[in-house]
Amino acid sequence: MTDQQLSERPMRRALALAANGPATGVNPRVGCVILNGDGQTIAEGWHRGAGTPHAEVDALAKIPAGGAVGATAVVTLEPCNHTGRTGPCALALIQAGISHVVYAVGDPGHASSGGSARLRAAGIDVESGVLADEATALIADWLAAARLGRPFVTLKWASSLDGRAAAADGSSQWITGEAARADVHSRRADADAILVGTGTVLADNPSLTARAADGSLLRAQPRPIVIGTRSIPADAAIRSHPQSPIFLKTTDLAAVLHDLHDRGIRHAFIEGGPTLASAFVAAGLVDEYLVYLAPTLLGGDRLALGDIGVAGIADARRLGIASVDRLGDDVLIVARPVTTQNHPTPSPAVAPTDRDAHRTTDLNKETRN
């Protein structure tokens, strides 16, 4: 059995531990397993959220002083090399006497990266890339946000097979069935924020909560973000959301994303309707598409997307299919820009060009998906 194969077993355990952490927030989910010289597990740890011990420190705290000398630390993310609310994990491993570190995926953060170099400089044997794909999938949104300084953006819509998000009279409840709607609410709960335009709020008065099948609120709730310049009534349902809504009176989408990143939001979930959706697509700011297709035909002009700047087939926005799942009678297609389908690296958060400006200034006319 190769060294890589020997490392995979504890790394799978570390990934399982990492999944216990919160899916949202400024910090990633990380797990750590520490092995003695015989390959036996002597401690485990995982990160429980911002301000709490990182996974490596959590595991080391369970070992008596001197008990980690010569041990191996298996971590899902490269040990950090900076001081924030907690100290550098690379330094903690060095001080504990760890002799070998195995990690899955590198830390792309400008401030937090460099842990592996620090470990090697201290004479520690470092191995990287073990189960990298699995680790990347677990924290893909955080990794993207760390690289770009903006949230990972998921765009969701539900439509008929002929691409309509509503019937000719504007009605859209419900295009998809219960299984698809339950999946949407679960994914809402996994995001830091849910974005809509003012038109959606004014037309549909949505609550934007993540709910169970019986209507009760799920434990995790996305922060509601309303984009656009029109005022929202004092009695709007969104104002009763468990998370205080943020109203951004702008149509500069790049500025919106940078603002949200500064507020600690790392994963933004867009449900705003065709106008807002089209603006984000046209600006090249969508990293993941969730398209729920119902086996029905509606016809008419209520399309899920409007103008996205595609004048001819050569301009088409090419996507790669990440997965296709059956949800009751409906189908969910998860797609990503072809350059990001395997290891998501979203498009740069640049401001919309003059060509795109007219697509980002009409968010007040938003309609519901």
Q: Which of 8, 56, 271, 366 is catalytic?
A: 56
Asked if 51 contacts 79 with a C-beta cutoff of 8 angstroms, the reply is no
Give, in order, the Cα–Cα distances in Å from 98 to each of 35, 53, 72, 120, 126. Answer: 10, 18, 6, 12, 11
Alpha helices in the chain (DSSP H): 3-18, 55-60, 89-96, 115-121, 132-138, 140-148, 178-189, 198-204, 253-262, 274-282, 354-357
Q: Is 56 a catalytic residue?
A: yes
DSSP string, 12-47: HHHHHHHTTS-SSSSS---EEEEE-TTS-EEEEEE-
218 three-class SS: coil
Q: Which amino acid is at 70?
A: G
Q: Please report, in angstroms and rounded to a whole number, the separation of the first and last CA atoms in the chain.
A: 52
List the catalytic residues.
56
